[in-house]
Structure 1
Amino acid sequence: MAGLDRHAAVRVMRALTLAGLASLLTAQARADDLDSLVAKANPSAPGCAVGVSRQGQPTQFRARGLADLEHGVPITPETIFEAGSVSKQFTAAAVLTLVQDGKIKLSDDIRKYLPEMPGYGAPITIDHLLSHTSGLRDWGEVAALAGWPRGSRVYTNDEALWIASRQTALNYPLGSAYSYTNTGYSLAALIVARVSGQSFADFTRDRLFKPLGMTHSQWRDDFTRIVPGRAQAYEPGPGGQQLDMPFEDGYGNGGLLTTVGDLLIWNDALTKGALGAAVTERMQQQAVLTGGRKIEYARGLFITAYHDVREISHSGATGGYRAWLGRYPDQGLSIAVLCNAGDADAGRQAHEIANLYLPPAPTAAPSAEPTSAGELAQRPGLYVQEGAVGLLRLAAEGDHLRQLGGPSLAPAGPGRYRAGAVLLVFRPNGDLERRSPDGSIGVFHREPPAHPTPAELGAIVGTYASEEANATIRIGLRAGKLVVIPADRPSAAALIEPLFKDGFSYPGGGVIRVTRGVAGQVEGFRYQGGRVWDFAFRRVGS
């Protein structure tokens, strides 16, 4: 330490020693807190593995629970799980690798590579697929309308293409809205295979996994293949835990088999631009709708904020697997969570871990005045979203409003309430706006409850068909209630409950609205789901 006298040098050394000691104590405290978080889980039940890296260096791995209940095999940090939709970023990276190679363009019409797809007036581009702005209906939800949801039979990417190719309409005008759909990523995987001349699994192995050293990662392209070290997936059932494995051969939209360690390698590669700076940049470039609104989805990644810092992440759920992968590049922090429990909340666990490393969350503004008695009497009821499947049920609970199935609503001014990051605003006419952080606004109309008579229910009984779903279903009456019976799978019969006039709940969480002719006769119904909008069935028999 040239230039310092002996006493000054001692003071510097002492300060450095104290700083190092403080850093070690902080790291140990975080490790202890992480141990406490993980220890909450039942070691004899399905569980999770978690991994944390700082500045690209893995620092913490933890695991708790059983990978195989039948044999009592514990989960370890090396256990392989299925990552669900966390997989989408790998598909996006594969596409962008081909863009970087000069073999395709994001602006290319997908029909150049998928001539089986119909035209919709304007070309759907590869970029529309990656940003969920194509309007393409989710193939799994369409399949469910025929009585065969995912998990009930083995689906492949070719079958996803076949379902998509039958659709004569989009959910919305191309590029004008965002709707999450697995169809886009199933088709993107097919494009990668057709352009590269390799299977999608081989291409990603050669261009992504092997170069990065992700030695435990592969695709579930053959569900019958034995995968050593893989955790079985479970879902709570009436008699306890039961298997819930994704028995299908479709992948690209999901289907990545991996470990928390490999996912941390991947995050570090994206942060450092190891696949090419343009790949990372394009993956993190948020999409902009035709109306000019920027959305949170980029290409295989959500770009949001947590604790007022930038978060780049994606969650996943397939069968009983749950996953979350995120990074906070400005803080040099990455977190991976993989679970084999269908009731696990991987995202919540990840954020509990993030809380150990990130600055404290900003102090929430104090709530406005309590909800008035007039508001409590006026606001409860069923609200139905305009042009989509959204339903909000509000109820008075004590001295506040509550969203059934959701959080209590915090008053934020006259006719305004907060539900987490979402703002609910009542219009003077009683309609409700749901304002999301990304700027999107959903409008909900209040609908009075319906109590149809037996005759009114009987008028709906009949046979209905959809060429797009390749399905015929029967709506019948059982014990005074309507039941929907898929012709191709009668065992999947399910009740449909009245919600509002001519509106009924539908299996899987959707809503149907009965359509009528000029004389009031029932002519069909239109289905509204989370990923399939305004889907028509016509009446073909009584």
Structure 2
Amino acid sequence: MNKEMVRRIDRLFREWDDPGSPGCSLGILRRGKVLYSRGYGMASLEHNVPISQKTVFDLGSTSKQFVAFCIALLEKRGKISAEDDAARYLPELGKYAGKIRVRHLLHHTSGIRDYLALMELAGMRYENEYPDEQIFNLIKMQRDLNFTPGNEFLYSNSGYLLLGEIIKRVSGFSLREFAEKNIFSPLGMKNTHFHDDYSVIVRNKATGYSASTNGFKTDISLFDVVGDGGLNTNVTDLAKWDANFYVNRLGGGQDLIQKIITPGRLNDGRELGYSYGLFLSGYREQRIVSHGGAWVGYRSEMMRFPDKDLTIVCLSNLVQVKPTHLSKRVADICLEGELEGRPTPVTPCAAGRRGVKGRSPSPGLYLDERNEGFIELESAGGKYVLRDDESRYELYCIGVGRYAVAGGLRELLVLADVPGNTRVMLKKLNSGPVEYRKAPRPRIAGSRAARLRGRYYAEELGTEYILRNKGVRLFLERPGAEPEELRWITERILAGKYISLTFPKVPAARSFLLDYCRIKGIVFKKS
């Protein structure tokens, strides 16, 4: 690391290098050795404490690799197999038609609905304290899966929550205790633990924040269920974890490391870009082994370039920071001259900007007529935004007619953009491409909306939703959320910001199927 590289890296973080702002802790590692580390901004605005490499953060989903490593250790000791029926350890899972194996939980191919999304639908708030039993009961209430185990990939926090419970039942130790005994203590990670008791004081921990119109506000939670997240650690300790990737000191030699970075597969043999709690992808023709995380006011990324012996760790205590994007920018500098292609774009592409041959997204509704799926392209705040069945994403231009979202989770290809024939193709990580054709908004009679209004109950949530109409306009009321106007996608499908309702084809529909983020097909019946 020379002075010019350091100057350019520091410039990436200058927005948060301010005594009045939350910020980031950055670590640049080579085989576990710290090449450069620095804190930008404040760990505590209340107490004027700056961020350093010793500042502790909640890693969110970056925690998953540690849970998966615990499973790998139990496999090595013959206590469990990834091919085992998960119902052997969690009999509650035996009710489903398809057999859920341990590897399905590891690879997000189980079809089990995401418990965090279930909480939102049931009106439960992340900020509150809930006993483990209440969360597990919410999962147990689900009668169906999103899909047959192994048929698809759909990221689900429930899988790793259940893996944590399997570790407890197999080993006799809580996840916190097992990880401490078998990972953190042997590696000397003295500032690392699974935070399964919100009342325990954590020394040097940053407070989570979110930007608001009046500055910053605290963004923290009393939620202390762990497995899918909940690891508290710092850059100093993650350097020790990174070193173990190159020289495994935890048993099993490098064979165990190879195991945790071997991609999973779907039932049809397709290889996944996911292994044991790690995404396997690429950037500018280099392999990446990584995972990011987000939980209340915390954001994180640990991105390893194994063929370059380089790892970028970026931890933040501000919602608006994008560590995955920043980590790639840091890699652009550290590996300058060694990477192919163009660096990741700095800002989302401007709406209306047309590339070569004018192939840019045309805002509007797009339908996948074969599967009744849909996406929407919007021009919001001068930027292009993609809305699909999971979330909303700002688009970055990565080539002629090609757009991607930060982190590489989605790529959009404009196939044709001429009157009467506007088509795009959407490729999701670990899924096949789907073609969509632009379609006009449907014309709906007011009587149709009137027939759908009423109260609907979902047994899998123990919750009632209300549909009210004002003429042709329909509004959804649900616990824990503001009333939301739904948009007509077709005569049978309505959509909100992240939610969609699909009604049967019969005119007098008395039920609908609800999709929401990582949840598919929850049945609501008219009361």
Q: Which residue of 2 aligns with 1:526?
A: 513
Counterpart Cα distance in 1 of 2:312 and 2:398: 31
| Residue 448 of structure 1: how far off its partner (Å) | 2.4
TM-score (norm 1): 0.84
**Which one-letter code corresponds to 2:258 in the other structure?**
E
Name the CA shift for 1:506/1:342 in 2 (closer, same or farther; >3 Å): same
Q: Which residue of 1 aligns with 2:489?
A: 500
SS in 2 for 1:356: helix
Question: Which deviates more, 30-39 or 163-172?
Answer: 30-39
Name the CA shift for 1:317/1:419 in 2 (closer, same or farther; >3 Å): closer
Counterpart Cα distance in 2 of 1:343 and 1:118: 41
Q: Which residue of 2 aligns with 1:230?
A: 205
Q: Which residue of 1 aligns with 2:432?
A: 440
SS in 2 for 1:94: helix
Name the CA shift for 1:91/1:55 in 2 (closer, same or farther; >3 Å): closer
Name the CA shift for 1:444/1:536 in 2 (closer, same or farther; >3 Å): farther
Q: Which residue of 2 aligns with 1:406?
A: 394
Whether the aligned pair in 1 keeps the contact of 2:365 and 2:377 (CA below 8 Å) is yes
| Residue 262 of structure 1: how far off its partner (Å) | 1.1
CA deviations 1:472-528 (Å, max 9, x no partner) are 222234798533333xx4x63421321423433336x122223353xx012122112
Q: Which residue of 1 aligns with 2:332?
A: 355
The aligned runs of 1:10-409 (5 Å cut-off) are 27-43=2-18, 44-151=20-127, 153-275=128-250, 276=252, 277-360=254-337, 361-363=339-341, 369-371=356-358, 380-384=363-367, 391-393=375-377, 406-407=394-395
| Residue 64 of structure 1: how far off its partner (Å) | 1.1
Gap runs ≥5 in structure 1:
1-25
Counterpart Cα distance in 2 of 1:514 and 1:323: 39
Name the CA shift for 1:217/1:390 in 2 (closer, same or farther; >3 Å): farther
Counterpart Cα distance in 1 of 2:53 and 2:215: 26
**Which one-letter code corresponds to 1:336 in the other structure?**
V
**Which one-letter code corresponds to 2:232 in the other structure?**
L
**Which one-letter code corresponds to 1:47 in the other structure?**
G
Counterpart Cα distance in 2 of 1:101 and 1:340: 38
Counterpart Cα distance in 2 of 1:219 and 1:331: 30
Gap runs ≥5 in structure 2:
344-353, 388-392
Counterpart Cα distance in 2 of 1:225 and 1:479: 53
Q: Report the number of matched residues.
A: 499
Counterpart Cα distance in 2 of 1:353 and 1:397: 27
Whether the aligned pair in 2 keeps the contact of 1:99 and 1:105 (CA below 8 Å) is yes
| Residue 286 of structure 1: how far off its partner (Å) | 0.7
Whether the aligned pair in 2 keeps the contact of 1:452 and 1:498 (CA below 8 Å) is no
**Which one-letter code corresponds to 1:207 in the other structure?**
N
Name the CA shift for 1:395/1:259 in 2 (closer, same or farther; >3 Å): closer
| Residue 215 of structure 1: how far off its partner (Å) | 0.7
SS in 2 for 1:496: strand
| Residue 452 of structure 1: how far off its partner (Å) | 4.2
**Which one-letter code corresponds to 2:495 in the other structure?**
S
Whether the aligned pair in 2 keeps the contact of 1:481 and 1:495 (CA below 8 Å) is no
Name the CA shift for 1:162/1:430 in 2 (closer, same or farther; >3 Å): same
SS in 2 for 1:355: helix
Name the CA shift for 1:128/1:363 in 2 (closer, same or farther; >3 Å): closer
CA deviations 1:91-144 (Å, max 9, x no partner) are 000111111111111111111111122432232011100000111110111222
Name the CA shift for 1:81/1:454 in 2 (closer, same or farther; >3 Å): same
Q: Which residue of 2 aligns with 1:13?
A: none
CA deviations 1:157-196 (Å, max 9, x no partner) are 4333222222121111210110000000000000001111
Whether the aligned pair in 2 keeps the contact of 1:395 and 1:403 (CA below 8 Å) is no
SS in 2 for 1:336: strand
Whether the aligned pair in 1 keeps the contact of 2:118 and 2:461 (CA below 8 Å) is yes
Counterpart Cα distance in 2 of 1:240 and 1:368: 37
SS in 1 for 2:92: coil
Question: Which deviates more, 347-356 or 237-246?
Answer: 237-246
| Residue 438 of structure 1: how far off its partner (Å) | 5.4
Whether the aligned pair in 1 keeps the contact of 2:31 and 2:242 (CA below 8 Å) is no
Question: Which deviates more, 304-313 or 424-433?
Answer: 424-433
Q: Which residue of 2 aligns with 1:465?
A: 457
Whether the aligned pair in 1 keeps the contact of 2:444 and 2:472 (CA below 8 Å) is no
User: Please, what is the CA RMSD of the aligned residues?
Assistant: 3.0
**Greater radius of gyration (CA):** 1
Counterpart Cα distance in 1 of 2:234 and 2:150: 35
**Which one-letter code corresponds to 1:472 in the other structure?**
E
Counterpart Cα distance in 2 of 1:294 and 1:350: 26
Q: Which residue of 1 aligns with 2:350?
A: none
Percent sequence identity is: 28
Counterpart Cα distance in 1 of 2:119 and 2:430: 30
Name the CA shift for 1:247/1:102 in 2 (closer, same or farther; >3 Å): same
Name the CA shift for 1:260/1:387 in 2 (closer, same or farther; >3 Å): farther
SS in 1 for 2:154: coil
Name the CA shift for 1:390/1:154 in 2 (closer, same or farther; >3 Å): farther
SS in 1 for 2:106: helix
